[in-house]
Structure 1
Amino acid sequence: MTIDVLVRNNVNVSGTGSQTIMFAHGFGCDQDMWRYIVPSFTENYRVVLFDYVGSGESQINYYDADKYSNLQGYAQDVLEIMEALNLRDVIFVGHSVSSMIGMLASIHEPTYFKQIVMLGPSPRYVNDLPSYYGGFDRRDIDELLEMMQMNFIGWASYLAPIVMQNPERKDLAEELEKSFCSRDPHIARQFAEVTFLSDCRVDLDQASVPTLILQCSDDSIAPVEVGNYLHAHLKNSRLQQMTAKGHYPHLSQPEETIRLIKDYLTIA
């Protein structure tokens, strides 16, 4: 089983420290998205990278539509990787949907986790007005999913610059679009549906691991209201506003991302 898990999720371990830090990529991405961040941690940490099944260099034959029909299936994989590597007290850094995947995993097995860093997190993307603003009407999400179904390449080229939000750096949007397009369209669409229709608000009360919420500026995926909601409902949380714009600060502003993570780990 150990070999299967590490191969299944294309797990890569580097670094020399005794403390383990695990980086988990978001929807439409893979572990390569952390390449600007990882070198700053390998000297003092054991760094674990992986790809979710259906992403990057993972083994696509392990993809199970039933298992991955909700975020718990992905959380189970995170726990299996930690078990296979015999990890404890991990610092888990999750981008976007991985923030909630990590939180769900920590609710099941809190001993695996020391701290969680959430980068652009959202417990619920769809508005539930008047009590909750997630940033999207249900109709917006349905149209996005339909666009993925009808014209996957067109969807990728439309969405990438909007969520990257760094118009002066076209290379970033182009990289993201390429990453989106490298996915199996059917798996990508299911992951998108699971991500954008998930609702983890009810789980927030059960989470106990100390958490840093990194809130990006002008983030079309996770607006400021979402960060404030998370901070208000997640105990042991700290909210940090970033100057980085868009939803991918680890690509657009790696220096700030590194500094804020290290600051938190130093004082926490």
Structure 2
Amino acid sequence: MNPYIPKLARLVKVKKEAPDVKTFRFKFVEKSKFNFVPGQILMVTVFGIGEATFGIVPTEKRDEYEFTVKKIGTVTSALFKLKKGDVIGIRGPFGNGYPVKELNGRNILLVAGGVGFPPIKSLLLYLLKNRKAYGRIELYYGAKTPEDLVYKKELKEWNKRKDLKVRVTVDRATEGWKGHVGVVTTILEDVEVDENTLAFMCGPSIMMKFVTLKLKERGLSEDRIYASMERLMECGVGACAHCNIGNVYVCKDGPVFRVDKLFKLVEKPW
């Protein structure tokens, strides 16, 4: 099949997550195989406008999938005007995804910032589905304000689990907030790591820079930290060269990179 031709998909649900963030759930118009690894990406087409890249998130239904959008440009603004029943185009999945086959028996740290949560959520759902295969699973998430937190309902549900540690923080508290206040690294101060620990992060570049430094300070080496990189992507197959880091392409060779390898590609990846 031609990777440049999008498959038609119908929106089955649109959920507001935050003032400028929505989650879109879709189902393909024609029955279609759509197997993906957590951390992979898809290209979403708004016909007549353009397309943009988003992380794929599974749902409880095997033939329905989600992606979360922050309204920041032409395509995302067009997406925000769509409603349940509207048709979009989907290309993908693209990229490498997380090394899920290497995670058995590991202690897993997940760190997300802002709307960098979707790929981390995708990995978390995978881990929880196969929970007995892993050691400790810990989720650390930060946003600017309580209103900017995404997946609020899911966070409450995850927080009730005894087999998952959840820590949430906001940069700025607003009225009624009783949780932690501070950037995401402040909830990593007492994180425990050992030789069996792997960390996965996604969020703003500045966040990933300081999360890497904090995890190294806590004893985790760069070869056990993975970053999901956000770059401008247009084709999804490494042909347009818009998303290159050194001599590799985020859409094709990433978006997930081990941090030690990232620093070999470019001096300042953040």
State the TM-score, normalizing by the size of structure 2. 0.32
Computing the radius of gyration over CA atoms, which structure comes out larger, 1 or 2?
2
Q: Which has the higher helix share?
A: 1
Q: Which has the higher strand share?
A: 2
State the TM-score, normalizing by the size of structure 1. 0.32
